[in-house]
Structure formats: structure tokens, C-alpha cells
Chains A and B, each alone.
Chain A
Amino acid sequence: MTPLLNIRNLEVTSDRKKIIQQCSLHIRKGEVHIIMGPNGSGKSTLCHTIMGHPQYRVTRGSMKFNDVNLQKLSPTERAKLGLFLAFQYPQALPGVSLGQVMRATAHSMPLPKLKQALQNALQSMQLAEEFATRSLNEHASGGEKKRLEMVQLMLLKPKLAILDEIDSGIDIDALKLITQAINEQRAQQKTSFLIITHYPRLLQHLTPDRVHIMMHGRIVHSGDSTLGKQLEQEGYAAFEYTHKLTRTLRKKQTTQRD
């Protein structure tokens, strides 16, 4: 089976600075992948690059979604293919409501059906109905914003949902709600997930297929869900060694080739 998301040897540059190098990632339908890593390791950049943020340029490698080359597509087109990004810091949109945004995206859905779906999604995220009509992400708490991202995910039903630190700045109850929704989407819609997190506690609520460690713009280690436990015990320092080792090996390989 060809992977849904197929990233090969990706190099990403912003302001002439390489942020991601030699990054490869394959996610199949229905799989949940988790990326962990210290601050500044390039995790958010990877999310934004997959979604098509204009600030990040792919300078090497390839990025395919369902065998379609993503690089020349606008964020709108990527979204229409079935990609979704839940933002770490969702943008406040003064005067623009969640209902309006959803109406602008879900053209095919008749309005009463959309309203009902929106209400259901808000309810399942324990958000009051008025969140549909007030300004999106404005005067909302951190936890509310994250839950609003999940509401949008539920309505848009993407094939691959990228969640950038969906679990930061929220309490344990919100975490339960969110992970529950992730598990439901995965079971019912066969949605694939790429989840960025700092906290191994997320792994208690999800059963990921793969866990990746990202450092210095590279994926330095991949494993199953036990990797989280290892990380909790040993910290990133343990992987710093692997990172250095692979880099030395690679350097050797190149020198040998020369």
C-alpha cells in the first residue's frame, strides 16, 4: 500500500536558513504518528511546510499526498485534498465567526446540515453554542482554542490531520476530550494523524503506530509507543548521541564517496 503522506529526504529553508534536513516520513491510512522533540527542533516548521505556509521553502526532497506532489499546491488546494492543520497558536479572527469560516469551506453541505454538524461538534467538545457565532479564537482561553481546532477537524473530516501541540496549555479534562475525539475520528473515518507533542502523557491516551524523535531538523529516531517511556526516563540527551553518531557516519560516507 502506498503511504498517504510520503515525505522523502525533505530539506526546508526559511530566510536562507536550513531548518529541516534529510527528513523522511511515511504515514499510511488510519495510522497515528507522533513526533516529539525539544524546542526549536523543526517540528512546527514541518507541520507548516506540509500545509503550505509561504514562509517555508522546500529546497530538496519531495512531499506527496496520495501520490500528488504537494509542493506546487496552495494551502487551499492542500486542504481540499484532505489535509488539515490544527494550529499550536490558532489565529484570532475579529468579526469572523466559526460558522462563517465553515460555511466558506463546506460549500457542498447544505446550511441546515452544516449548522447541525457544527452544533454536534461543539457539544462533543463541551463548548457552548455561541462559539459558532462569536469571533473565532478571540477572547477564548487556550483550552477553548484547542477544542475549537478539534471542532473544525470534525467538520472538515480530513484524510490526514496534523495536530501541532494540541495538548499544550490545556487541562486534563480537555486532554481527555481531545484524545477521545482523535480516537473516534481514527476509528470511524480512518483519519490518519501526525501529532506533535512535548508530553509523553499524551501517549497514555493514544496508541500510536510510530513515535519519532526530531532533533536539529532531522528525525533521529523512530520506534513504537515504548519510545515515549524511554524518552521520559532518559530525556533527549540519550538521542543526542544517536544524532551525533548518524551525522558522523553520514559524513564518513560522503568523504568515502569523494
Chain B
Amino acid sequence: MPERAVFKARKGLNEKIIQQISQHKQEPQWMREFRLQAYALFQKKPMPRWGADLSAIDFSDIYYYLKPTRQSEKRWEDVPSEIKTTFDRLGIPQAERKYLAGVGAQYESEVVYHSLQKHLEKKGVIFVDTDTGLRKYSKIFKKYFGTVVPPGDNKFAALNSAVWSGGSFLYVPQGVHVDLPLQAYFRINAEKMGQFERTLIIAEEGSSVHYVEGCTASTYSSGSLHSAVVEIIVKRGAHVRYTTIQNWAKNVYNLVTKRAVAYQDAVMEWVDGNLGSFKTMKYPSVYLMEPGARAEILSLAFAADGQHQDAGGKVIHVAPHTSSRIISKSISKGTGRTSYRGLLKVHRGATDVKSRVVCDALMFGKYARSDTYPTIKIDELQTQIEHEASVSKIRDEQLFYLTSRGVTEDEARGLIVNGFIEPIVKELPMEYAVELNRLIEMEMEGSVG
């Protein structure tokens, strides 16, 4: 497919390119300064020396900005046919007809297609791409942007803050319940294209929303970098669930910072599935700021040959009477490697905290690898913490049991793997669950134990 970029910044990064991006987007002065400050931090911050090996990333060999069409399209008819073809292949329109409430779809770094059902608009729900959010809703935007994940948080958060483009801006007013999952499908396919989308979600008091983000990427030859930032504010009594299934091409570095703050009696849930990419580092986190807040993190990772999925979750109990649960399931096969990396922190004074962490790993073959790095920091005695970890290989006895029933060995493995991830899959919207099961079956095909 030919690249359809209207504007494309030069490869590599410097202050001038950042100025250019900001200028091209016609951003206010404060955002330009925010970007430049973040860039300075990015240069100062060291590369993380833990987690996945990132030494092969060449920051000067990446395009940081690409704009495919002049404007965000609102109606489906206005979307260029070439882009529609891509969506067709991904099965979006069908999915939309059945389930979608609104679609923000990202094509080469910019949201080009965006539709939002009328009744959401009437309720005052704002669901737009982040650039539009900055332009049209600057007051709310500026109040929250960069407050959950400050640019100085880590090197990749700084990079994203400097060059971000696209992503979703979602605002749910007080007491509003969005009853259908809001979905954003996006895809990158320009070679060496970096994706730096930025998502900001604000759920006002007593509101609820389920945001679903699914990514598929076509395969291309040279390395690509995906470094997103997601910030979520869950106010008193609100409920946010954020679901991701990512299946980047096997040469993509997927380095994402996802964080939420939850206030009194609020519930924040991350459902995070990582299948593709070359290396992933992603630990969705929740700060439980006020009593009654609850966090739930379901993390799923699948690493095939040459992949390293370094994933997990973090929960920080700042306030008393808060609870959390982290369930991590990982599968590694061939030379694939999965790592569970988690943080559970309980601040002093945060009494009556309940937390449960379960991480299970399943490995295939002699060379697959799985590690667990659970960090637990408890500064308060009155807490109730449970931690369970298990590593298993598919047991020969399970395979024998199934094959003795006439199931083929491949099918038997598929059944066991799908059974293993079932606790997470059952939390996904239907079409994602089906897609995920199919992807995993495809990955498992012909694998020799």
C-alpha cells in the first residue's frame, strides 16, 4: 500500500522537529513549551537498565510524525477508500455495526475517522481524538493533561510527551453511564513509523465507562517504536475499565506507560493483553488515593520465538480501606520469554488494605523462559496481602488425557492454552475474545512441546 502521508517530519528528533510538529498542529504556546521541556527531560533521562533489552533502538532512525490526511474525518463516507480497505481487512465495519458505540480509529499517527453516537453527545460525553481534545476542550484538557504521568516519569513518557500525536480524549460527565464499550482501533503501517499516541480519560463522580483499544499492525522489515502514554482519572464512585489487546508486528518495541488515579469508592480495571511486538514493557498501574478505592489488573502475555514480553501491573495503596487484585497469565513458547514485573506498595497509614496477586506462567519447550519479579513494599502492618505464583509446563498427563479421547495433540494444546487464559478472556468483549482465541490458536499451531 502506498504511503499517503500529507506531511511527514524528517527522521530523527531535535527541537526544530518538535517545533514543526507543534506548528503543524497549530497548538497553543503552552503545549509547545510542554513538548520542548519534555524533550529536554528525554535527553537527560537514562535508558532503563532493567526489563527488556532496548539497546538496539536507534532514536535517530525513526519518523516521529506523519499526517495522512488534512483533517479528521467524522463521517464514514469521507474516509479515503484506501483507509477503508485497511479497515475492511481488519473487520472494523462489521464490528462497528454490532458493538461499537463510537469509533476513533488511528491511521498512521492521526485519527482520521471518528464517529460518535448521538445519544452519547447528548449526555455530554466527549470522545474525540486527543488533538481535537486539546483544540476544542482546552479548559478540561489542560487541567488534567500530564498530571497522572508527568513527562519526567521515565524516558519513554518524556519522549511521548515531546512528540505525542493522536490517541483518545474521553470525558464522562458526573453520573453518566456509558453502557456500550467505546472502541478505538488503530494501526500503523508506514515503515519505521513511531506511534506516540496519548490517551486521556476523565470519569467524573459516579460515572462509568469501558474503553477498548485494539491494535493490529502489518508486518514490515525494520524496527519500529510504539511508545504511548495513557492517563486516567477516576473520580469518587466512578468506574473505568480499560481493555487493550495489542498484536504489533514482531519487530515493534512496545513501551507504554499506563496509569490511573482512583478516588473514593472508585473502581479502576485494566485488562491488558500483549501478543505481538518484539519487546514489550508495560505495567498498567493504579494509585488508590482515597478510602474505598479498588484496583483490578488482568494482564496476559504471549511470547513466541524471539519475543520478550515484560509485563505486569502496579498498585499503590495510598489510602486506607483500599483493595486490589492483580492476575497475570503468561505463555512462552520456542525462544520466547515472558516476565511478570509487578509492584505492590502500601503507604504508611493505609490500614485495612487487601491485595491479592496471582501470576501464572505456562511454558512450551526447552528454550522458553519465564521470570517473575514481584516487588512488594509494605509500610503498614495492618494489611492483608496474598501472593501466589506458579510456573507450569503443559503436563504430559493432560495431553495424554485429551488425546486418549481422540483429540489431536495440537488441538489438545490449544484447548489447554485457551483454558489457561480463560479467566482473562472471559472479561473481554465478545469479538475480542473470539479474536484472541483465534490468534492464540494460530500461534500455537504446529508447536512441538
Contacts and interface: CB of A to CB of B under 8 A. Distances in A.
Interface of A: 48, 51-55, 74-76, 78-80, 84-85, 87, 90-91, 93-96, 100-101, 104-105, 135, 152, 156
B401 A87 contact: yes
Interface in B356-413: 395-398, 400-409, 411-412
Contacts, number: 72
A95 B403 contact: no
Contacts of A51: 400, 404
Interface string B307-349: 0000000000000000000000000000000000000000000
B9 interface: no
A95 B415 CA distance: 8
B440 to A, nearest CB: 12
Contact of B406 (A80, A91, A95): A80
A53 B400 contact: yes
A48 B401 CA distance: 10
A104 B420 CA distance: 17
A91 B397 contact: yes
A156 B406 contact: yes
Given A84-B405, A96-B416, 9 more contacts: A76-B407, A87-B401, A90-B401, A91-B401, A95-B418, A95-B419, A95-B423, A101-B407, A104-B411
Nearest to A106: B406
A-B pairs, top 3 by smallest CB distance, nearest first, are A95-B419, A95-B422, A79-B406
A105 B405 contact: yes
Contacts of B295: none
A101 B403 CA distance: 10
A75 B396 CA distance: 12
B403 A96 contact: no
Interface in B73-101: none
Contacts of A52: 403-404
Nearest to B407: A104
A74 B396 CA distance: 14
B419 A76 contact: no
A95 B421 contact: yes
Interface in B234-272: none
Contact of A76 (B396, B406, B422): B406
- The interface centre, meaning the residue of B405, B411, B423 with most chain A CB atoms within 10 A of its CB, is B405
Nearest to B410: A76
A75 B401 CA distance: 9
A101 B407 CA distance: 8
A174 to B, nearest CB: 21
Contacts of B404: 51-52, 75, 78-79, 84-85
A55 B418 CA distance: 26
A94 B419 contact: yes
Interface in B408-445: 408-409, 411-412, 415-416, 418-423
17 contacts: A52-B404, A54-B396, A55-B396, A74-B409, A75-B403, A76-B403, A76-B408, A79-B403, A90-B401, A91-B398, A93-B416, A95-B418, A95-B421, A95-B423, A100-B415, A104-B405, A152-B405
A58 B398 CA distance: 22
Contacts of B421: 95
A150 B412 CA distance: 20
Nearest to B400: A53
A95 B396 contact: no
Contact of A95 (B402, B411, B412, B420): B420
A156 B404 CA distance: 11
Contacts of A74: 403, 409
A52 B405 CA distance: 12
Contacts of A94: 419-420, 422
B420 A101 contact: no
